[in-house]
Each structure stands twice: as C-alpha cells, then as structure tokens.
Structure 1
Amino acid sequence: MALNVNRNVIDPFYRYKMPRLQAKVEGKGNGIKTVIANMVEIAKALDRPPTYPTKYFGCELGAQTNFDTKNDRYIVNGEHDANKLQDLLDGFIKKFVLCPACDNPETSLSVKRNSQSIQAKCKACGHAFVIDSKHKLSTFILKNPPHPLTFENGNGEKKDPNSPINESTNGFDYKENVSNGNDSDTEWGEPTENEKLTANIGKLVIDKDLDKSVEQRLDMLHQFFIAAKKDGTIKDAVRMLNEAERLELKTKAPILLADVLLDVDVRNQLKAYRDLICTFVKDDQKAQRHFLGGIEQLIQNHKKELLPKAVLIVKDLYDLSLVEEDTILAWAAKPSSKYVKKEFAKEIIRGKVGEVTVEPKTNGVPKPAAAPREEPVKVNDSDGEIDIDDI
C-alpha cells in the first residue's frame, strides 16, 4: 500500500504518495547487511537522489552504507527492521524534503559554495530556507550536490554551465566509484527537464490507475502476474508486492496468485511458490481468506482431480504457514458463496476439511499433534454469510 509522504497527514486522498519501504536482510555474522529493495522508487517519489535517504540511515544508525547504482542496490550494514527504517525515513523527509512553511514535499535543493550552505526553495508556496548544516547528511550533500548547475559564487551569480564541474553530471548520473561502494565522493544531479517530464508523466499514470475501479485494477494486476510468470520474474516477491501495493490491492492479490500459479499439481506448486505467497498473506487474515477463495475456485475448476484431495490441500496451507488455523476453522464453519456457489463450498467442507488435524506451532515449529477430533465441524446451513471485507 502506498503511504503519504508526510505521514502526519491522514487524508487518504493526499496527492503526495510513496511506496512502503521494503528491506531485505542478507548475509550473516560480520557480513550481515540490509538492502533497501525499492529505494529508487522511494527516491523518485521524494524527488531526491536515492543516496541521500540511504546515507541518512547510515548517519542515524551509525552504520556504513554502500551504493551499487548499476543494480539499484542501496545497502546499510547490519540488520535493520523495515518498520524502523520507515520511521527513520520520516525523519529524513521532515528535515530534507518538507517545506517548513506549507508542509508540502515540493522543495528543491541547491548548494551555495562560498558559504557552504544548502539552500532550499518550495515550488508550492515559494518559501526559501536553509537546511540545517549540523546534521551529518548535510556534509554529504555539500560534497555530493544535487544540482551543480545551481552553484552560486560570492556575488550571487550562477556558475557557468560550461564549467568543468558540470561535465560529469547530467541528471541522475553517477561516477564510477559509486558502483564500487564508495559513497564519499559521489556527485549527483537533479533530473534534466526531459527527465522531470518523464517522471511527472509516470506519476500521472499512477494516479490515473488509482482512479480506476477495483475490477479494472484487479484485471491490471492479473495481467501483470501472468506476464511475470511468462517471463520468469514471478518469484521476485518484492516486485510483485510493489505492483499490488501501487494498485492498492495487496489484500485481494492472493486470489489472483492462486489463479496464475496453481493447477492440478497444486500441492507441489504451493511448496514451490511458498515464499511469494507468504509475502502477501503473512499476518493478514483477510488476504488468507481471499487465498482460500482462490483455492475454492481452483478445486471447482478441477473438480474431478482436486475435490478428493481437498482435505490434503487445506492441510498443506496450514503446514506451509500460508493460512492460520483460526482462518481455516472460521472458513470451514461458515461456507460462503463469495467465490463459488455455496453448495459447492459445503461439498468441499463435507469432504471432512473440518476434520483436518493441525499441529499447533510455536515460533513456526510444529508441536506433536493432538488426538484427532471425534466429529467434524458442523456446517451452518443458514443463509447468513460473513463477508471477509467486513472483518
């Protein structure tokens, strides 16, 4: 789900959005590090080079940072939780992005060389101010200015555009030492006019997509998953999740994954795609219920082959930690017509799905199973249904 750039603003229609930060821990021991998987997308939303927020994390955490721009990898040494980094990002936004006068994130930065200060100007209200030079990131920005073309001399005159300082920077361009992990002497530039236009068009496309109906966005995400499976990128969980969150469909996405990933070989496929599916359903009962709905539809589409295996499929969902026990029992106790006809849902449950013996887990490790139940869960045949979206 996209977040408001200024998270103090709770208006769901706030125009300035950014993707939720995705962090992935790699390595172990002394070599452990945290990769910010979508830092480029976040930086575009903030109109800042991705090195700035990455370096800010390093300053706040007392950790080294590395930038691999060729592969879009922005790394903070050590193990860091995504929620903690998201909170730190709020601090970066407050100090280096938001206008103190109007709280809008439409500010641009420039460096005044003689005074060694970082000037900022808001494009929304016109307010001009100076960035706090005491923060360690300010030193980094002074050494790696966002836009060499806006340097001013002591008389307030702009530097000659043909000066050698501009020869190696044009838009978001990097020196070779950035890719090698050296983050101390890199020069950054702001986008050129053409790049800014392209970026703005991209933002308009995103906004336009969110104006579409849920059904239209579901179809877009469905086609995205199909294309990803065809080109072999479907297991890129971060990329799949980012697209679902961009379209604000993370909770509903599992039913589409069930359709795209699974067929009669469902039991093996659940194991093969476990990590991807977990990205969407972990700790989210609504998402798990939508995934169960996708399983219902799958069994209906391959009734002859899969209905006899329904009990085993549901047990696989539990054993692989794709659906929690409470979600399974609530689903079995109250069949719904939301995904398939209610009679067929009852038929699946009559296959003794309610008798599945699940092994209680502690920290993900199964304990010895309790004795099997004597009687299956009774199905309530009343017409009253529970809509998972109302939970």
Structure 2
Amino acid sequence: MANSGFVNIRRNVDDKFYRYRMPLLTTKIEGKGNGIKTVVPNMSDVARALSRPPTYPTKFFGCELGAQTSFDEKNDRYIVNGAHNADRLRELLDTFIDKFVLCKSCKNPETELVILKSGRNEDIIRDCKACGERTGVDMRHKLTTFILKNPPVKLKKGKRGDAADGVGGAADGDPANGEEGQNDPGAESDDELTKKIKAEAATLSKETAIAKEDWSADTSPEAVQQRIKALADNVAATSIGGDDDGSDDDANSPYSQLGTWIDDNDETDPAALSIAIYKKAEELGIAKKHKTLPVVVQALFDENVLTELPNYMALIKKLVTSEKHEKALLGGFERLVGIAFPDLLPAIPKILMTLYQGDVLEEEFVKQWGTHVSRKYVDKDTSKRVRKASEPFLKWLDEADDEDDDDDDE
C-alpha cells in the first residue's frame, strides 16, 4: 500500500503519513574516465515537490562536491560531473532542504524564496506560507550567488487572479497563464473524455456488497443480522466532535496509528478489511473525525485506485457524514494523485464520478471544490493541477444540469 518511491521531505520525520512528500532522488552514472558524470533523472520531479527550480539543488550539489554541473532544461537533464552515489546526493539534498527550503521557524517546507534589495545589498529569505515567518538563508553559501543571478520566477496571475506560490512554477509544462495542457496536441479533449465518463458512469455501482453489513467486531452471519439495526442507529446518532486530538501529520496521533495499522494489515478481502478499518477507527476514537479520511485514502489505495475504490465505497460512505468530511476525502485524493501517483491525474474525473455515483459527494460541493484552489492538503500548484484534471467531470455535471432544466421547460 505504501509507495516506496516517495519519501518525506524531512526524511528525519518517521511518519508514513507526513503531509509533505517528494520522489526519492535517483542517479545514473554515465561515461567513463575523465568524462564520467552523474545524471539525476528525476531532478525535475524532486524540485517540483520542493517548489524550487531543478537548477538550484543541482548547483547546490556542485558547490558541496566541488564539481562542475550542467543543465539541459529543454531535455530535462541535470548533471553533476564525476561519479557520485545516490545515498551521498540524498544526504546533500537533505542539507539543501534544511538551508533553502524549510522554514527556520516552523520547519515547514511550504516556503518560497524572495530576494530583498537594500541599496546595493541583496538578501534571500524564505517566506513561509504556513506560519507567516520570513527567515533568511546563509548568504555565505556559494549557491546564493547563483540564486541572485538566476532569481526565482513567480507565475503571473491567472484567470481567477491567483498567483502561483513557490518558484519555477512555469516550468515542467505549467504555462504561466494557468491554462495547463490547452495546447498539448497529444492531450485528450474534454469532449472525448466526457463521453467516456458518461459511458462508464452506467457501469458504476451505487452500492457494494457490504453496504448493508454490520461494522462491529463480530462479523459472523448471526452477529451481523442481530446488530445491523442497532449499529445503524448508533452511527446516525453520533455527533461530530472537533478534531482536537492531534494532527494527521503527527506520528503519535491516532490518525497516524490508524494509517500504519492499515498499511501493515494483510487482509485481502475488501469487505472484511472495511469492517476492520471502521472498528479500528472507532477504537481510536476517530471514526467520525474528518481528518480520518485523508489517512484512509493514502493508506488504502495505490496506483490501482480505479479498480480498488468501488470495493471500499461502503466504508467511505460510513466515514463521510458532512461537507467537511467530503472536503477531507478529496484532500486525501489530492495527496494520493497529486503527490504519490502523479501519473494518475487523468483518472481524477473517474474517481469523482465513482464517489458521486456512490452518493458520497454532493453536486454543489464538488462544483465549489473544483473552482477553489486550496493549500490545506497539498501545495497550491498541486491543488491547481488536480482541479484542472477534474474539469471534464465538472463539465459533465453542468451538462447534466442543463438537460434537467430543458426537461423541466417541456
């Protein structure tokens, strides 16, 4: 269930469900003799997770190793001369993150670099979007000279007037006008995808085989029949308390305990696992908490989410009891698809359709969510990409409303 290809941005944080993650840095040795060099194939992906241009960490490696570096941004190649093993570069990346990414005050990576000029002097600071603190970097480091000569680039405001946070945001196929993918000749058109969604919508089941099962400890047929009504009444009567019992990013919180328990569970039957997860959440006192949803999504699903999701719809319906829960649920999928498995971005419309057809998401909420970028669960750029990917489903909703209005007019 866990994705070994991703690690916590703060690698000293031993929490599988830490909010901020990045791809594990990989290396490839090329050439021989005096021409030997180390290529970092996924530098762009790592840098994107850090909201920094890929040239910054690459140049940092060169400064620390006393080696020349080269960048071919058009072909996405970032090179450090000499042979350097991956572990060494990962250690240096940790140092780069500490010096040029993490907020010095709250240690949160949600920062952007800003250059402040005072007369002839220039200083580089980390502007933290999490706590609001502005903390300086060590201007004695050689990388600062490179940053001053190649300053951070902020995106211009898009159609909704929201500028991108972080630096280098216009790279890697994200146009500055916020209209990603509009000019990609290989991209599938909204009309074509909408047709596919409509065709597949008919096959999505609104209920699963366990929708009417009991969720208590005893799952025998006799106990199930005896407790269905009592448990249903109990669940309906349970009030939603505040989520003041720890963060889902805290390794010692009940949320992380639940995530680790799911991750380590060997149960292969979706029905049995769903019941066990709900029982465990109740045991930890978080079955009705909205923060439980992102943890369950991240721990339960992987790159096969489209085939896995229908099997766990009954569990999700039990956990989602308010609009706040709906938002947290989609926040979990933002993390799963936007960060852990970015190749799944095109699957967002089908995920939303499955949840909508399963009566988990309300139409008006989905429309509001789709047009409001949020940094609550992921960074702003990732949130934008997820919502951009959701547009075919939102378009389908609008078309369905138009058809209903036409029917009413007849």
Q: TM-score, normalised by structure 2?
A: 0.40
Greater Rg over alpha carbons, structure: 1
Tell me which of the two structures has the higher relative contact order, counting C-alpha pairs closer than 8 angstroms and 6 or more residues apart.
2
